[in-house]
Amino acid sequence: MELEVTKADRLLALLEDKTARVGVVGLGYVGLPLAATAALQGFNVTGFDIDADKIRQLDQGESYIAAVSDDMLAEAGQVGSLSWTADFSKLADCDVVVICVPTPLTRHRDPDLSYVEKTARAIAAHMRSGTLVALESTTFPGTTEEILTPILASSGLLPDKDFWVAFSPEREDPGNKSFRTHSIPKIVGADTETARRLAVAFYEKVVDKVVPVSTAKTAEAVKITENIFRAVNIALVNEMKVIYDAMGIDVWEVIEGAATKPFGFMPFYPGPGLGGHCIPIDPFYLTWKAREYGHATRFIELAGEINVNMPHYVIAKLREVLDRQCGKGLSKSRILLVGISYKKNVPDMRESPSVVLLDMMLQAGAEVDFLDPHIETIPKMREFPHLLDRKATRFEDVTAEDYDAVLISTDHDVIDYEGLIRLGLPVVDTRNAIASRGLPIDLVTKA
């Protein structure tokens, strides 16, 4: 017991005076902002990633994520210490290691924890006694206890004696200018009092507010619940959109009216499907884990089914418009797809329904160009390798003669919507982008 107190107290002291050395594994949309934020608070931070191109770019002081500017990287390096490496042996120098790696789904929609497991094995190979390891990657309840801790223990070090483990889910929201990493309340859970105390001590030095919960499993459930809440409610309004459209009712006007109620209603908005790394994926982590306990997640699975089917509804609407207004089928048409990223004003294409729409139109035989000021070319995507390096068209190159219709899938603010209307082409608008800006909707069909 004396050994545990000594090591824990040593680490706590390092955290209190910010002399603890912090390693952040995975320098994507979660890890890079966290690394920069921790350095801005005065910590010595090393970022780890297997992507050598990312390391080279960061070594040159260049960020590839909008939430972290080049100036922020420079300032972080001046306030604290910030370095980058693909050499995981340097984990041995870290007092705190934070895991921020992807947790996708397999092709069969089962959890893919391979990135977490590989990272855990790398940490176990180099971790020294007296280290705090925090997992931020979204996953099913029980991952920290059942998978991460045993792999770390394979190092020969003893949990809660030689090292401590916690879970603190990321809450990044790409494109949200109202909240940054430091200003988003941080959930922190651990299975022992010592681990929880150390994790709280670390995060309290990095972010404005820490919210401790009793266990890592509880913290994991908090994150899953947040994303299921959004997925289910988006599915609800997507289903209502289809029903109200059949009734000749504008769902956007309905939501705008309902949102005036000062209590008991929270507005969610329909779209062409779900995008981003979290909401389309995370609910299925709970679905998978629930089977272990003999429970079905019918509500969650139904929401997933509705959201996954939305691109088919949009394409059906597009076919109707082409048939009615152009007198031709989709296979004979030329379409301008507006917005390829999953969310407005961000260059993030993870799980983007716009890519699904693009692929569906191409598979149907249509000619399709996409317009997106935030995306120059389509990157490598596991399910759409054939779209690799497809280039965006420029608005100044768009003419009415080149297309039969416009499909708005992502409503970036920098798009010239007035210019789109002036083309005089039929517009299928999945985001209410035209009407919400007070522009003429004579040629617009909402989908």
Q: Where among 214, 244, 265 does a domain terminate?
A: 214
Tell whether 271 and 354 lie within a shared domain.
Answer: yes
Instruction: Report d(CA 409, CA 200) in Å as an integer.
Output: 41
Q: Is residue 220 part of a domain?
A: no
Residue 126: CB atoms within 10 A of its CB come to: 18
Structure confidence at residue 423 (pLDDT): 96
Q: Where among 214, 240, 255 does a domain terminate?
A: 214
Q: Which of 419, 402, 401 lies closest to 368, judged by CA?
A: 402
Structure confidence at residue 2 (pLDDT): 46
Tell whether 61 and 187 lie within a shared domain.
Answer: yes
Q: Is residue 48 part of a domain?
A: yes
Q: Spot the catalytic one: 94, 100, 278, 326.
A: 278
- Which H or E run includes 305? helix 298-321
Q: Which of 91, 81, 78, 74 lies closest to 24, judged by CA?
A: 91
Instruction: Report d(CA 94, CA 78) in Å as an integer.
Output: 20
Tell whether 309 and 162 lie within a shared domain.
Answer: no
Pair 61, 75: CB distance under 8 Å: no
Q: Which residues contact 8 (CB under 8 A, 6 or more apart)?
A: 164, 194, 197, 198
Q: Is residue 219 part of a domain?
A: no
Tell whether 93 and 22 lie within a shared domain.
Answer: yes
Q: Is residue 343 part of a domain?
A: yes
Tell whether 30 and 133 lie within a shared domain.
Answer: yes
Instruction: Report d(CA 279, CA 276) in Å as an integer.
Output: 7
Residue 209: CB atoms within 10 A of its CB come to: 11
* Total of domains in the chain: 2
Structure confidence at residue 121 (pLDDT): 98
Structure tokens belonging to residue 407: 């499909």
Residue type for position 162: D
Distance of CA 196 to the CA centre of its chain: 26
- Which of helix, strand or coil describes residue 96? strand
Tell whether 59 and 115 lie within a shared domain.
Answer: yes
Helix, strand, coil distribution of the chain in percent, nearest 5: 45, 15, 40
Tell whether 282 and 209 lie within a shared domain.
Answer: no
- Residue 206: give its domain's CATH number: 3.40.50.720
Q: Is residue 225 part of a domain?
A: no
Tell whether 41 and 101 lie within a shared domain.
Answer: yes
Tell whether 280 and 169 lie within a shared domain.
Answer: no
Is the CA virtual torsion 46, 47, 48, 53 positive or negative?
negative
Tell whether 155 and 47 lie within a shared domain.
Answer: yes
Q: Is residue 226 part of a domain?
A: no
Structure tokens belonging to residue 165: 């483990």
Buried b (16+ CB within 10 A) or exposed e, 279-317: bbbbbbbbbbbeeeeeeebeebeebbebbeebbebbbeb
Pair 120, 148: CB distance under 8 Å: yes
Is the CA virtual torsion 117, 118, 119, 122 positive or negative?
positive
Q: Is residue 102 part of a domain?
A: yes
Q: Where among 214, 246, 268 does a domain terminate?
A: 214
Tell whether 250 and 183 lie within a shared domain.
Answer: no
Can you give the residue range of the structural domain that contains 102?
2-214
**278 flagged as catalytic:** yes
Pair 15, 90: CB distance under 8 Å: no
Structure confidence at residue 226 (pLDDT): 95
Q: Which residues contact 311 (CB under 8 A, 6 or more apart)?
A: 272, 273, 353, 356, 357, 360
Tell whether 207 and 253 lie within a shared domain.
Answer: no
Residues of the chain with pLDDT under 50: 1-4
Residue type for position 379: P
Q: Is residue 221 part of a domain?
A: no
Structure confidence at residue 5 (pLDDT): 56
Structure tokens belonging to residue 26: 């995975």
